[in-house]
A and B are shown apart, each in its own frame.
Chain A
Amino acid sequence: MHSLARTLNSARTRGYIYQALILGGVAVVGWFLVSNTLDNLERRGVATGFAFLSREASFEIGESLIPFSAADTYLRAFIVGLLNTLTVSAVGVLLASVLGLAVGIARLSSNWIVSRMAAAFVEIVRNIPLLLQLIVWYTIIGKLPGPRDALEPLPDVFLTNRGLKLPWPQEDPAHGLILAAAAVGIVGAFIVARWARRRRETTGQRFPTPYAVAGLALGLPGLAFIAAGMPLVWDVPRLQGFNFAGGVTLTPEFAALLVGLSVYTAGFIAEIVRSGILSVPHGQTEAGLALGLKPGQILRLIILPQALRVIVPPLTSQYLNLTKNSSLAVAIGYPDLVSISNTTANQTGQVIEMVSMMMAVYLVVSLAISAFMNWRNQRAALVTR
């Protein structure tokens, strides 16, 4: 009797009991939901399972990286949506980072008017819902002039209500060679930068790393380009009849989504960059000056490594947000993952399968990005003794 009371009173036993109760509760709720769902599906005559994925989709998709026609399967449509989401996210992350960095630095400028304008940009962009911004961008693009009197902000770049037309290099067999040279150059640059850093850390000798890296990464493909006889012919968009032919086209949906996502996220990234730079005490710059480092070296070797430590974690979550926010594409008709899943679910009635597939994909992408950025961050993190 005594020992039973003691067992019941021990924190461990009670922990087990509580956990058993909670798990039991979750199981009961889960069973309730699953049995209801199965009932409902049976009543509606919907067959569960993923067999529908191999059926014919019979809907067209506006834009696609891989060939797609209405005769292809639902699975292929899903992959098209996934690729579209990944494309817009990847380009958006790139643009948002560049814009955010520029605005963040402008925000810290000693020039009053520059910093005020950057602040105004940040405050406007961050405080208006992204969905509204997307709709506005989309309507602005829709209000652009038609192909016949297209705007031409840069030579051979055309802005029309049918999208953005850009020149694109014509394919040439030598391009593969140049890309290979670029890859070799980038890998070589990495190896050289690593070797130079290690040598600097052990011996204190400096190496002109920036020049070597630039030389390798740009020089090698440049040499290959010259060696191959400069095979570059631009495929320029030209007006033919009622529309442009040639070049590449960014559709209005893609362009609106890309601009909207990049501008919105850039507002947040700018604040992150600003707080990161401000987090490095000014004494660090002075110490660098006292050691006789050049301004560029101070920025590269002292300020940036410390600022990045503060910047990277919130930056990661902004990249993730951008990827997730790309799902708002459904509101302006860009065929992303959500929009195609939605169409498929409406056509087949396989709501549960489609929503779970869609969520699983986002979850995998999110976890992958955050795993990569965590790995990157661990390398940048402060090593304390």
Chain B
Amino acid sequence: MSKQPPSPQLFASAAAFEEEPSQAAIPAAFGRNSWKSLGWAKKNLFNTRLNTVLTLACLYFLWRTIPPMVEWALVNATWLGTPDECRAATGACWAIIVEKHRLIFFGTYPYEQQWRPFAACLLFVAMLAASGYRPFWRPWLAAAWVATLTAMGVLMWGGVFGLTLVENDKWGGLPITLMLSVFSIVLAFPLAILLALGRQSDLPAVKALCVGFIELMRGVPLVSVLFMASVMFPLFMPDGVVVDKLLRALAGLTLFTAAYLAEAVRGGLQAVPKGQYEAADALCLTYWQKMGLIILPQALRMVIPPIVNQFISCFKDTSLVTIVGLYDLLTAATVATTDPEWRPFFGEVYVFAGLLFWGFCYSMSRYSQWLEVALNRHNRR
């Protein structure tokens, strides 16, 4: 980096893939592919002295970490069995996951009723996947979501259609994580649009209120908002009115998410060309017509990727409700590690929980990257 001029590849590794080594004089016996990969390796791994050193150092690091990890996680692992069998083995003890998976996924939900949260989660993930498919982006999708969320509520709560009633202090695990994240973003969305419009408003009082709210929420940590929701909120209510713990946390998450979403929506509002606002004014549209028919459809289209990213961080943030004593996936995983017999194998539980979260977040972030490209395609020439 210090002596040689910055080569083009230094700043654009992708460019290296486009050029292929010359294939003019390939000995037939050597095989085309191995020659090609040798050329590729020379170009991408050993092109300078520094890169050779880096490559060797990385290879050494990988050689020292990957094989032991594979051995621990796969080769020597115990997949089924008792804690004693796990102690005897040198590898990971996935048996604890097999043993405790009900607890990790569904918490303290009554055991024989756990098909209900399972069905609810399946429904949820299916809807999430369906919502990613762009041809489905029609008004009926919103209706389908309302139906899904209602169905989930019925499944979880019960009390109708012959399902036994399960109070929500018994809920736990994955359904809580999924529901809190989806409900908070869905409820935050309309609020965020209002806040973003208010922040751009000409009316000083409205603007001040919205700016104050957004900056307050973005300036404090989510933990403090959750504390407020769980400890202070009961004090705000008249005597005798008791709002459920889960709902209080949901309210806190919603307000917090709304402030961040509002900033994303504001970005979209600012990106709509000024001519659009002026054209709407020239047509004598009212404020709500202008916003609803002209500005918001364009602005919201632009901010879909940031909204997906906000959803990802909201999904990760729901793990914080464990601090105020709600039973989400992370709490359930922690509880699963407290069984004295299985105590030594808490690492496996955290790895499993981490993989679950990672799977959800990574697939959504890949989706959001793809979406960003797909939505901008019409802008490219």
Contacts and interface: CB of A to CB of B under 8 A. Distances in A.
Contact of B239 (A39, A324, A330): A39
B319 A132 contact: yes
Contact of A111 (B54, B216, B231): B54
Interface string B321-362: 011000000100010000000000011001001100110011
Contact of B358 (A22, A124, A136): A124
Contacts of A282: 8, 11-12
Contacts of B216: 359, 363
A111 B51 contact: yes
A295 B3 CA distance: 7
A33 B205 contact: no
Interface string B301-324: 000000000001000110110110
Given A36-B235, A324-B220, A355 B323 contact: no
B18 to A, nearest CB: 13
Contact of B350 (A132, A330, A351, A352): A132
B236 interface: yes
A295 B232 contact: no
B11 A277 contact: yes
A69 interface: no
A363 B11 contact: no
B318 to A, nearest CB: 8
Interface in A85-128: 108-115, 117, 123-124, 126-128
A366 B205 contact: no
A129 B235 contact: no
Contacts of B55: 111, 113-114
B165 to A, nearest CB: 30
Contacts of A43: 239
A39 B236 CA distance: 9
B296 interface: no
Contacts of B7: 110
A189 interface: no
Contact of A132 (B202, B227, B330): B330
Interface in A302-353: 303, 324-325, 327-328, 330-331, 338, 342, 345, 351-352
B350 A110 contact: no
Interface residues of A, number: 62
Contacts of B365: 126-127
B2 interface: yes
Residue from the set A37, A128, A129, A358 with the largest chain B CB neighbour count within 10 Å: A129
B205 A23 contact: yes
A164 interface: no
Contact of A114 (B3, B58, B218, B234): B58
Given A112-B16, A328-B320, 20 more contacts: A19-B203, A22-B209, A36-B235, A36-B237, A123-B362, A126-B361, A127-B358, A128-B358, A128-B361, A129-B316, A132-B353, A277-B11, A278-B11, A289-B5, A327-B223, A352-B232, A355-B224, A359-B216, A366-B220, A367-B219
Interface of A: 15, 18-19, 22-23, 26, 33, 36-37, 39-41, 43, 108-115, 117, 123-124, 126-132, 135-136, 139, 277-278, 282, 285, 289, 295-296, 298-299, 303, 324-325, 327-328, 330-331, 338, 342, 345, 351-352, 355, 358-359, 362-363, 366-367
24 contacts: A19-B203, A19-B205, A19-B206, A23-B205, A108-B11, A108-B12, A110-B16, A111-B44, A113-B62, A114-B51, A114-B55, A127-B358, A128-B358, A130-B316, A278-B11, A285-B11, A298-B6, A330-B323, A338-B224, A338-B227, A351-B235, A355-B228, A359-B216, A366-B219
Instruction: Enumerate the 4 nearest inter-chain pairs by beta-carbon distance, A residue then B residue, closest first.
Output: A110-B9, A127-B361, A324-B221, A327-B221
